Every structure is written in C-alpha cells, then in structure tokens.
Structure 1
Amino acid sequence: MPWYDGGKPIKVEGGIKARTRRGSIGSAWWSRRFIDILERICDKGRLSRGRAYARQGQVLSIDLSPGEVRAAVQGSRRTPYKIVIRIEAYDESRWAVIEEAVAAQAVHRAKLLAGEMPTEIEELFAALGIDLFPRDLDMDCSCPDWGFPCKHLSAVLYLLAESFDDDPFLVLAWRGRTREQLLGSLADEPADDPLWVEDVPFADRLADFYAPGATAHRPERRPATAAPDLLLRVFPPPGDLTRPLTPAYRSLTDT
C-alpha cells in the first residue's frame, strides 16, 4: 500500500510533548535500549515524522498496563487516531522465577530497592531465557497509513521511551510487574539471607540509639566485658611507669 500522508495535523492544546527539541529522544540506558530496538526494526522516515509529532504535542494520552499501551494521537482528521501497542506480559510463575533470581543478587536487589535500574538486569533476564525488552511489537493504529509503523505510532513509541527515563519501573510494569509489587517482594525477609537485618523505625529506637552495644536485634545496653589488663597490653606505658599507672588503667576498664 502507498504511504498515506493525510496533510498537516490539527494543532492541539495540552498534548504530551517530548522534552528534547532536537536530536535523539531518551537518555537513560534502558530508554536508549528501547529506542535502539525501534530504530532497528522500524522505517526511519516514519520514525523521523513520529519524533516531530511527539515534539509538537500531537499525542493526547498514553495509558500503560500489563502487556499493553493505549494512546490517542491527533492527526489531520477531526477524530484522534487510536493506538494499541502490545507485548507479552509475564504471569505470576515467571515473575516468581525473576524475583528469586534478582533477590539472589545482592547488588541488583539493593539498587532496585533504592529506585535504580541496574545495567546488568537485562543480562539476568536473558540468562533465564526471558526478554526484558520486546524483540518485536504488535502495533495497531486507526489511521489509513499501512506503513510500519505510521508516524502516530512512532510518536507514541518515542514518548513511551521518554517516560521510561522518568520511571524505569514502567519497563517492568509493561511486562506485568508494578513497582509496588516488585519492591514489596524484594523487601520481604529472605529466609536464607545471613546479612538480612530487621528494619526498625528510628522513632522506636530513639531512646537507646546511642547506647553502647545497641543493635537492631538487641537494642539493650550491654555491660563492658573488657579484660582488666587489656589497656596495659595494648598501650603499655613507657619505662618503669607500668606499676604506678596500673590502677588508673584498670579503673578505665571498670567504667
């Protein structure tokens, strides 16, 4: 089918605009990874026109849910075009495997709990035989352009990548796991993690926070158990001062 232009788009107020006015869209590694896939499988001309649409604010709305993105884009016709972009959303059993693998990597787990997306997470998914980013996209637009993708789809894809910049957990939410679900699972006490420490609210520990020997598990103050002559052995006095200073050293260990 020949490419359908449709004329100039109708200008809209309050549309979603890309932040970048020139050059590439998407700055974080996960956003660029998504853009690299698009630019490899999609028509470059339509992607270029899609960037222009994204920067003009022609996209009216974008709604992301597990396995699906729905959007509305204002083109040259009065009625906005309807967009649907689908990928595979993973079920609970597959996510259980993913979360177990993430929890086994202390650095990955710590970064995710801190709100960061570790660069190695794509390799972790690949080692499990699971794709983090889609290899291909099932996309539909209600416009008459049969190209792949049309400029309306391209605009939505670029803005989607930019939204990944703001919140990397949207990449995982598209695969079926929200930020709250994932972090809630990773924050649970690992049964066999010897380094796990119970998180006690600071307000509950305020009275004994500075007490010697206080820990999250044992906030009680423990008596000193130093050997009476420990200071003498560690810091011996010079010359023949050992005898006269011994009582003073011992008194320090008793306080």
Structure 2
Amino acid sequence: MPMYGKARPVEGGLKAKSGGRGSIGEQWWSRRFIDVLESFADRSRLTRGRTYARKGQVMQLRIDAYEVTALVQGSDPEPYEVSIGIDPIQDTVWESIEQALASQAVFRARLLAGEMPPEIEDVFAIFGVSLFPRASTDMHLMCSCPDWGDPCKHTAAVLYLLAEAFDDDPFLILAWHGRTKDDLLAGLRRLEPAEVDPLTIDETPLAERMEDFWAPAVVRDRPPAPPVPPGLLLRLLDPPKVKVRRKNLADVLKPAYEALPSLDQPE
C-alpha cells in the first residue's frame, strides 16, 4: 500500500459530531448506511477516513440528486475532489413509490411529521429499489487522489459525514435519490385519501327508480395497498427498556411476529 504524507490542517473544516472514539451515526437510518459501508470497505481506510472526518479535513459537502460532491484536504496543497454517485430512479417508479406511501396512513403521517419510518425500506423494495446502497457497486465512488482504494480514506471521510448529515435530516437520503423533502411531502398531500370520491346522492324521485332500487352498488376497483411487514408494530413503537438475556425485547419478539402470517395459512 503506498504511503502518503501527513494531511494538511484545515481551518473551519466540517467535523464529525462524534469527536472522540466510537461509532458515527445515531439514528437507525444513518447506522444502516454506516453498517452497509463497513460491510464491504477496507478497514484501514475506513479508520483513516473516520480520523479525517473527526479532524475536519472535509472542506465542503454538497448533496444533490443522485450525486454527493465534496472537497477533502489531504497531504497535497490542493484539496481532493470526491464524488459519490448512485443510479437514478425513474420518474414512473417514484410516482408508484409515492402512491404506495400515501396509501398507508402510518407512512403518510410519519413522513408528514418529518419522521423516517423504518418500513419505508420495504416500500422501496416492492418496486425493486434499494433505499440504501447494498454494496460498493451500488455507488460510483470517485476521488482525484492517487489511491485506487474503493473507497479511499478521503471518500470514506465524506461517507461518514454524509451519514451524520442523514442523522440531522433523514430527508437528505430521499433528496440523494432525486426527491427533495418539499417535493415528496407535496406529492403525499396531493395523494391523500381526500381524493376518494364522496358518496353522491341521486336526486331522482324514488318512484322513478323502483326497478333498480335493490340493485347492488357498484364498487370501483382500487389498487391494493402494499403489504405491511410482519414486524411493523415493533418498528413503529419506541423499544422498551427491557432486555432478555442481554437482548432487546424487540429483537426477542421479532421472530414471533415474523411467524404470525404463516400461522394463518392452511397446511
């Protein structure tokens, strides 16, 4: 592995909030992003990337649709340019995702309240889209430094700070996927159940409608709502501060909840 000089100090760089040792990322969505990153990346480069993130070597960080760009100061006089891209989601797929989210009151309510429900991953998966990268091949990592690591320490530093940005605002994850918070919430409000046609009353005199008075009502077909994951309740509620043999109660109950749907199926 090539050796490089010591990184040049940066005035006013972006520093990770977790200034000391320990994990970066507090919310479930940022930890999910970090867990995926640490599952495939080189450990030594990740360690140096965390150090860069905590020292403030990242000078700029910008999140746009399908691309994150940053400047990271290394040992060279000029900062390195970092770009982290993801594949775009087609507009038709986004429309289907928004309709699915709007069709479930729990999703709509939590998103409109500014929260990111864990079940949103399942909704994206229904339409063949992964909310978080599953492997290095799901991201297009580029850095102007001479290190061919995937990711290099400069890109790793940006990824860690990106996770902290997601911590502060989970809607940045969706903005990275091409939908800003305002766009998504406007779409959800537009698709609220208020669109359901109200019951109309025919003012035709009863005497003229006796022949079809007892005819069955016509019910319009509506698209089915996406399936609700078995562990929905466990993930919606705050986990109780109870542990069973050093395991969280929600983790202990999860297999039982996942087995419930199969109990309804005939053998």
* TM-score strictly above 0.5: yes
Superposed displacement of residue 91, structure 1: 2.6
Closer/same/farther in 2, CA of residues 193 and 19 from structure 1, 3 Å limit: farther
Number of the residue aligned with 2:47: 48
Superposed displacement of residue 28, structure 1: 0.4
Q: Which amino acid aligns with 1:192?
A: V
2:141 corresponds, among 121, 132, 139, to 139
Tell me, in whole angstroms, the C-alpha distance in 1 between the residues paired with 2:197 and 2:108. Answer: 12
Superposed displacement of residue 193, structure 1: 8.0
Q: Which amino acid aligns with 2:183?
A: Q
Closer/same/farther in 2, CA of residues 193 and 75 from structure 1, 3 Å limit: farther
Q: Match of 2:98, SS?
A: helix
Number of the residue aligned with 2:15: 17
The runs of at least 4 consecutive aligned structure 1 residues that moved more than 4 Å come to none
Tell me, in whole angstroms, the C-alpha distance in 2 between the residues paired with 1:133 and 1:17. Answer: 23
Number of the residue aligned with 1:178: 180
Contact 1:53 1:59 in 2 (8 A): yes
Q: Which amino acid aligns with 1:85?
A: I
Q: Which amino acid aligns with 1:16?
A: L
Tell me, in whole angstroms, the C-alpha distance in 1 between the residues paired with 2:197 and 2:74. Answer: 55
Number of the residue aligned with 2:156: 154
Q: Which moved more, 1:161-170 or 1:141-150?
A: 141-150
Number of the residue aligned with 1:243: none
Task: Provide TM-score, normalisation by structure 1.
Answer: 0.73
Tell me, in whole angstroms, the C-alpha distance in 2 between the residues paired with 1:16 and 1:167. Answer: 16
TM-superposition CA deviations, 1:204-244 (whole Å, max 9, x none)? xxxxxxxxxxxxxxxxxxxxxxxxxxxxxxxxxxxxxxxxx
Contact 1:91 1:176 in 2 (8 A): no
Matches within 5 A, 1:1-255: 3-21=1-19, 22-135=21-134, 136-188=138-190, 189-190=192-193, 191-192=195-196
Q: Match of 1:84, SS?
A: strand
Q: Which amino acid aligns with 1:19?
A: K
Task: Provide TM-score, normalisation by structure 2.
Answer: 0.70
Q: Which amino acid aligns with 2:90?
A: D
Tell me, in whole angstroms, the C-alpha distance in 2 between the residues paired with 1:56 and 1:186. Answer: 40
Contact 1:89 1:174 in 2 (8 A): no
Superposed displacement of residue 127, structure 1: 1.9
Q: Match of 1:100, SS?
A: helix
Tell me, in whole angstroms, the C-alpha distance in 2 between the residues paired with 1:4 and 1:145. Answer: 8
Tell me, in whole angstroms, the C-alpha distance in 2 between the residues paired with 1:57 and 1:119. Answer: 31
Q: Figure out how many residues of one structure are paired with residues of the other and give that number.
A: 192
Superposed displacement of residue 17, structure 1: 0.1
Tell me, in whole angstroms, the C-alpha distance in 2 between the residues paired with 1:96 and 1:193. Answer: 21
Q: Match of 1:171, SS?
A: helix
Number of the residue aligned with 2:262: none
Contact 2:171 2:181 in 1 (8 A): yes
TM-superposition CA deviations, 1:63-121 (whole Å, max 9, x none)? 11111011000000000000011101213211100000000110010000000000111
Larger radius of gyration: 1
Contact 1:31 1:164 in 2 (8 A): yes
Contact 1:5 1:145 in 2 (8 A): no
Q: Which amino acid aligns with 1:179?
A: K
Superposed displacement of residue 123, structure 1: 1.1
Superposed displacement of residue 18, structure 1: 0.1
Q: Match of 2:95, SS?
A: helix
Q: CA RMSD in A?
A: 1.2
Q: Which amino acid aligns with 2:184?
A: L
Closer/same/farther in 2, CA of residues 10 and 108 from structure 1, 3 Å limit: same
Tell me, in whole angstroms, the C-alpha distance in 2 between the residues paired with 1:148 and 1:5. Answer: 16
